[in-house]
Structure 1
Amino acid sequence: MKRKVIVYIATSLDGYIATEDDSLDWLFKVEGEGDNGYSEFYDTVDTIVLGRRTYDWIMDHEKENFPYKNKKCYVFAKSIHEPNNNIEYVDGCIVEFIDMLKGAEGKNIWIVGGGDLISHFVKENLVDEFIITIAPTIIGKGIPLFNKQNTEIELELKSTRRFNQFVELHYIKRQDEITRVNG
């Protein structure tokens, strides 16, 4: 079975993944149900992809408790950084790198974030599925899940699930319906 690239993320009702100062406090105020399906999803992936800013946020908030120790983790960064036992830095063509990962044996590939990296993956048509959990919170401004771009992708709703106040939307990309919009 071919590996899939999946965006699995929570967002506010108005489409933000964090406040302007990178806070997720709004998310943790919402009453969920268990782990809102996280463990079930986590078992389907063996590779994690993150942007440098998201990685730095995780390290600032989790301190020494890196949450993805049992997975292969890649951090896209534009500059060279010190070696790390938990992650491997990547500075190269995202399309070629993801094609290489998808061609290897393994489980699915999770794009943890952030918004800029997700938008780049969307622009390059690299995302196979979106699992987006909506929190009943309106932030007003912040870091958007999707940046404005000239890409239109038609999706097909695979499923919805409710976790108390959260709603999970699971979409798959329609392979035959990808278009680029000029402009």
Structure 2
Amino acid sequence: MSKKRKLVLFIASSLDGYIATKDESLEWLFKVEGEGDNGFADFYETVDTVLMGKRTYDWVMKQDIKEFPYKNKECYVFTRSAVEDTENVQFVNDDVTHFVHKLKDQEGKNIWIVGGGELLQSFIQEKLVNELILTVAPTILGKGIPLFKEGDYQLDLSLKGTRNFNQFVELHYEIKN
């Protein structure tokens, strides 16, 4: 019997819990002195599937990038509208819970939730998320796009580990069920 794949959030946030400014800027994040790629490459090797919402996908596509950043992974973008699949992305407007359970039951590496917001909220409320890897920047934004939206849920976590990347601190939690 193979072990079930995990759904993992890997993301950076400000100390006060924001993942971007109100205008979706990450400039504050790039001002922080990190170390290497702050653990990204190691994490990226543990996943073979990437999930994101349409808003995050649109933000990624607006960046000045030469090629799609998740090219060597299965990439699914959840959307409420009908969008044509691309070479790199399959757009999904199926039931989130059913779709993720199907992915978790397949053979493979872990599944990465890219971004926060609506999709993360749905995953949390449906108890689909297994781990959180949060890299905290020594910055307080005061307002912006929150990592965790207000809602009717509570997560109990167990700390798996911490790492420092110069000014960043990575907190790795497992979600208790």
**What's the TM-score once normalised by structure 1's chain length?**
0.93
> How far apart are 1:16 and its partner, in Å?
0.3
Inter-partner Cα distance in structure 2 for 1:150 and 1:114: 17
Q: Is 1:157 aligned to residue 159 of structure 2?
A: yes
> How far apart are 1:74 and its partner, in Å?
0.2
- Paired residue for 1:4? 6
SS in 2 for 1:152: coil
Inter-partner Cα distance in structure 2 for 1:151 and 1:174: 13
Amino acid at match of 2:38: N
SS in 1 for 2:163: strand
- 1:13-67 Cα offsets, whole Å, 9 max, x none, are 0000000000000000000000000000000000000000100110100444210
For structure 1, the 5+ residue unaligned runs are: 176-183
- Paired residue for 1:41? 43
Partner residue of 1:145 out of 144, 147, 154: 147
**Alpha carbons 1:53, 1:114 under 8 Å: kept:** no
**Alpha carbons 1:131, 1:169 under 8 Å: kept:** yes
Please list every run of at least 4 consecutive aligned residues from structure 1 whose deviation after the TM superposition is greater than 6 angstroms: none
- Paired residue for 1:110? 112
Alignment of 1:5-24 (within 5 A): 5-24=7-26
Amino acid at match of 1:122: I
> How far apart are 1:116 and its partner, in Å?
1.5
Question: Cα RMSD (Å) of the superposition?
Answer: 0.8
- Paired residue for 1:58? 60
- Paired residue for 1:95? 97
**Alpha carbons 1:7, 1:129 under 8 Å: kept:** yes
| Greater Cα shift, 17-26 or 59-68 | 59-68
Amino acid at match of 1:138: I
For structure 2, the 5+ residue unaligned runs are: none
Partner residue of 1:78 out of 74, 77, 80: 80
Amino acid at match of 2:80: K
- 1:62-83 Cα offsets, whole Å, 9 max, x none, are 4442100000000000101123
**What's the TM-score once normalised by structure 2's chain length?**
0.97
| Bigger strand fraction | 1
Amino acid at match of 1:140: G
Inter-partner Cα distance in structure 2 for 1:7 and 1:139: 21
Inter-partner Cα distance in structure 1 for 2:155 and 2:26: 28
> How far apart are 1:117 and its partner, in Å?
1.0
Paired positions, count: 175
